Amino acid sequence: MTVPAAYHLGLSAVLFSLGMVGVLVRRSALVVFMSIELMLNAVNLTLVTFSRVHAAVDGQVLVFFILVVAATEVVIGLAIIVDIFRSRDTVDVDDVDLLRG
């Protein structure tokens, strides 16, 4: 345990920012989804780090719940993407603008 906690947290911060840039820049709904997964993983790393810093296991339990929600979210989201692809023949988030005013 020679690496300070700040390094783990810094890695997590950079990964979260990368995910955010991915959501802002990419147009393929699939890649936007993967960027969201990247952000969820960054948060998980933060939780695990603080769980170790405080020597309490609660953070790891929270990671477990985040995993459950992430799995559900991916299943539902990919089903929606497949449905959009079936009806519009595209997964480009800029082309799916039916609600644009």
Can you tell me which residue has the tokens 């790891």?
Answer: 60
Residue 9 in tokens: 């947290």
State the minimum distance, in angstroms, from the CB of residue 99 to another protein: 15
Under rule CB under 8 A, residue 101 binds another protein: no
CA distances from 15 to 35, 43, 46, 51 (A): 9, 9, 11, 19
State the minimum distance, in angstroms, from the CB of residue 46 to another protein: 8
Site for another protein in 71-100 (CB under 8 A): 71-76, 78-83, 85-92, 94
Sequence length of the chain is 101
Site for another protein in 9-28 (CB under 8 A): 9-22, 24-28
